[in-house]
Amino acid sequence: MARLNLTIPDPLYERLERLRDRVNVSKVCAVALTKELDMLEGSTVMTANSKAQRMIERLQGMKNRKERWYQRGFEDGEDWAAERAEPHELRSVLDEWEFEEEETYHLGDAEWPESFDRRAAIRRWVSDEGEMSGLSLPPSGREESALSTSDQDAYLRGFHRAVQELWKAAGPDLRWLTDEE
């Protein structure tokens, strides 16, 4: 197999490093390069196999995007719980946020803590992703409109899971918080 050096923007590299164990960079690049060369050579023939491959790639992309938004929610939840969360906010997220497996949730479905600016967080993530994929930021106050329902659900679940995991790890040392009202 031939080897090739690849240059990518620093922000993309940083994102890749966080998920390196879940991304086969060589495969992703080979698929993208094949598509680009096929298009330039004019040899794209729509056969059942190529359509099946397109379907696989599209659905895999949806899965990867959902995983990305879950991870973003997880990172934001972790940072918020560790750095800014008030005791009553932690209890609220832990006690009042309940998710059913078969349900899909929107960002507006949750009672967000005052100390977490979800719109700014979403705006930052959409801006980062937009640089790489051509997404454009919606007007302020409509950040959620840039995300699919699946993305919103994944972000919420990731945020909640991070808070749960941090609470579980810190719970014995913070037991006094559950007694305080």
Domain-located, residue 71: yes
Predicted TM-score of the model (pTM): 0.62
Residue 19 has a pLDDT of 86
Q: 12 in a domain, yes or no?
A: no
Identify whether 127 is part of a domain. Answer: yes
Nearest by Cα to 73 from 153, 8, 146: 153
CA triple 139-82-99, angle to 5 deg: 65
**What is the pLDDT at residue 50?**
77
Q: Using pLDDT thresholds of 50, 70 and 90, give the confidence band for residue 181.
A: very low
pLDDT tens for each residue of 113-138: 999 998 888 888 887 666 445 555 55
Domain-located, residue 102: yes
- Judge whether 143 lies within some domain: yes
Query: pLDDT tens digits, residue range 135-161?
Result: 555 556 555 666 788 888 899 999 999
Flag the least confident range among 37-41, 89-93, 153-157, 165-169: 37-41
pLDDT band at 2 (very low <50, low <70, confident <90, very high): confident
Q: What is the DSSP string of 111-141?
A: ---TT--HHHHHHHHHHHHHHHH---PPPTT
Residue 98 region, left (φ>0) first, then alpha (ψ -120 to 50), else beta? beta
Domain count along the chain = 1
Residues listed for the chain: 181
Tell me the pLDDT of the chain averaged across its residues: 81
CA separation (Å) from 138 to 16, 68, 76, 121, 166? 25, 20, 20, 14, 32
Q: What is the pLDDT of residue 177?
A: 64
Domain housing 81: 65-179
How do residues 75-113 score in pLDDT, each as one tens digit?
999 999 999 999 889 888 988 888 888 888 888 888 999
